[in-house]
Amino acid sequence: MKITSRQITTIGLLIALSIILTRVASIRIAIGGIEGIRIGFGELPIILGGIMFGPLAGGLIGAISDLLGYFINPIGAYMPHFTLVSSLKGIIPVLILGWFNQKKEIKTGELILAIATGHLITSVLLVSFFLHIIFGLPWAILIPPRIIAAPINITIYVYITKRLLRNNIINRGWVKSDTI
């Protein structure tokens, strides 16, 4: 596969946007003296990158965003667990969309399922799991706020993704999306 300079530029822009939305334009809520919840839209550029360029690119955008974001604005010690989670945010939704879209276009329900599955696995389960095993925070404190925030985040991610695809603002490269 040939990578164009336009694709590299777009991937770089998505990485920068993810860093800004995650590290600067987000609200952080401390739980037990550490950042327990982060409210923001840093996942969206990672998901969009995966839809545009495939799961490998989505995973790389997520991982590079987390690594560069840490070096630019470190919050505590570096934890590779969260780089993995960030990478999976760009892989899981796109793999689900690819599974549905062998030779057909994305339906809104499929987009909701893909983004919801990716968000629930990464932001709700894995982040909570890693905060629990690394810092010993109790599940009862970690899970409820994430479950409350998840439908809001998922709705916003689906709406914005759907609008960008429908209006041809983002390239539909890896996944066909004419019926959104």
Helical ranges in the chain per DSSP H: 5-19, 43-53, 55-72, 80-100, 108-119, 127-135, 139-166
Give me the tens of pLDDT residue by residue for the chain, a chain 180 residues long. 688 898 999 999 999 999 999 888 888 777 766 666 777 899 999 999 999 999 999 999 999 999 999 999 887 889 999 999 999 999 999 999 988 776 567 789 999 999 999 999 999 999 999 999 998 989 988 898 889 889 989 999 999 999 988 877 665 555 544 444
pTM of the model: 0.88
User: What's the CATH fold of domain 5-166?
Assistant: Arp2/3 complex 21 kDa subunit ARPC3 (1.10.1760)
Q: Are 36 and 44 in contact (CB under 8 A)?
A: no
Listed by start position, the domains of the chain span: 5-166
